[in-house]
Structure 1
């Protein structure tokens, strides 16, 4: 498109053509959520709704981001678009910080306020006479379980994520210095470490369900454990997919020393995921 490069040449803000991707994405998210609701209520159509919704989301992500990559490679974007993307990524990560803050706040409320209050009632004022406020707790009605210990798979996963932060930083240094081999190997190692983390977490979940009685039915401990580690695991999965895309683009020579914000955005996200895991490891597994 000959007119696409004109705004960049003039230093104007690039405005893309109207797109239907936002509509497709809205429909995909709606169908996925609707399917999940149907599924947990035993409605057979729920699975198909979730699959169609997920397929629409994947279609939008591949198509929409593909257009952005194409526009960037054509030199359409200027410093104004770069600034917008940076501000947008900062706000996105801030929203993720608030997302996890809600769950950590719920964990604090349960452990520091709710349990001591329930355990402090006299027998005459509570139907749960044998309930104690000791943590970890299934609450007054949860199933019995064995708590997850920190110095096993969780400690290994901590080492994996910390190492992945180092390999990603090493890859970033390679990009800045124009060392393509260092960039490619650093990204490959980071992807491998992220995938290994997820493999260990899947094994941990299977072991917890099969041998420890640690399920979602294990009261408040089970609920907070799986919500926090599960959402974090989802973020690691998403981050690993993003890193794979960056690795593929790197192999095609898409990034340069002065034009690589897509890589930086994914690096910010991955380091955020690392920090969340460190907090989670302390408050969920150790304390």
Structure 2
């Protein structure tokens, strides 16, 4: 079956994510429901941007919700994470534990950073699959999976005790703003992802972690890992997952058209589906940096 290709839109389209602290009404309800179903503490920028197109997101979430609550979806997320972390290890991330200890970080503080990483290592997987499904339906056609899916019972999210805090650009001082700017420039991003804003809660750690990652980001080896992640989620969107919500290409395209320009929605979806495999790779790289030698 035809699958979506890894494609960075050029020019980068305008996106309109509304932060959680500004969301009201239907948007706030969608944010809360998405977080509840995915068992994550944050509304991804990808789905924030989707809700700017309410007819589109309403139809997408109507069909995705029963899938996201299914056992095949949860297991696909777990497999995606396991595989991604394994191949990212081949990039050879150096342990930062010794340097962090020398800087004064106590073992408990380093473990707190690991816990935040665990939240994103778990939560990014459903978002990247959602992005692939949206693109597949808009650009390729229907999903080929069967409609029946066993419901997942219980909790699959990690148990963490670290408060979930985000350092927004207006919260941070000049050195961290410079790191944010370097991330945007190096990764060709129009914004700083949630993950990076959470890690910036520990600015000295994050500057060190990013400086190490920046040396390999965008290299052929790094891009190969991103491509592998893309290929796996493209396969899941095409025929690797069931479709219990009865999503169809025609219905989603009509919903996007009802919000204005179909092409505008497609370009927005391409952007997020392109950047999320890179984000997953980078979070896995950060995770390996926190392993003791």
TM over 0.5: same fold?
A: no
Give me the TM-score of the superposition, normalised by structure 2.
Answer: 0.24
Instruction: Give the alignment's TM-score, normalised by structure 1.
Output: 0.24
Query: Which of structures 1 and 2 has the bigger CA Rg?
Result: 1
Asked which structure has the greater RCO (Cα within 8 Å, sep 6+), the reply is 2
More helix by proportion, 1 or 2?
1
